[in-house]
Amino acid sequence: MTLRTNHDKPVYVRLRETIADAILAGRYGDGDALPSVRALAAEEQANPLTVAKAYQGFQDEGLIVVKRGVGMFVAAGARARLSESERSRFLRRNGRRSVRACGASASTRRHCWSANALSISDPVGIQ
């Protein structure tokens, strides 16, 4: 793995993004072992506590399974959940702007938003 170089984010966030990218790209599939905290810390030249914090976030979300004394593994369905999570995050950041930029009427934009591909739970500001 190679840590993203976006320095305006904390290291643990960049680690999470890097790990998520690897799972989304299929480098780690369901049940695959992830690098140990120490191994990833050494590889990325990060503090092991920072790596542990990144992994803890995935564990809290049910995306990885920790088997004490054995290692950390990608949970079943993690790629699909990450994909949906990334899609929703992208739409929250960029969706309204993209839908407005298409030049459609307000009613068409609302329809596009709720139709399916652009649907998220809170389409605030589409009008």
| pLDDT tens by residue, 99-125 | 566 665 666 656 655 544 444 444 444
Gap between the Cα atoms of 54 and 1, Å rounded: 14
The answer on 84 and 45 residing in a single domain is no
Q: Which string of DSSP letters, residue by residue, matches 40-69?
A: HHHHHT--HHHHHHHHHHHHHTTSEEEETT
* Domain range for 68: 11-76
- Phi, psi dihedral angles at 5 (to 5 degrees): -95, 15
Same domain (yes/no): 87, 110? yes
Q: What is the mean pLDDT of residues 34-61?
A: 93
| DSSP category for residue 118 | T
Q: What share of the chain in percent tops pLDDT 90? A: 43
Same domain, 36 and 70: yes
Statement to judge: residues 39 and 89 lie in one domain: no
The H-assigned helical ranges of the chain are: 11-24, 37-44, 48-60, 78-90, 96-101, 106-115
C-alpha to C-alpha distance for 13 and 79, rounded to whole angstroms = 18
Asked if 57 and 70 sit in the same domain, the reply is yes
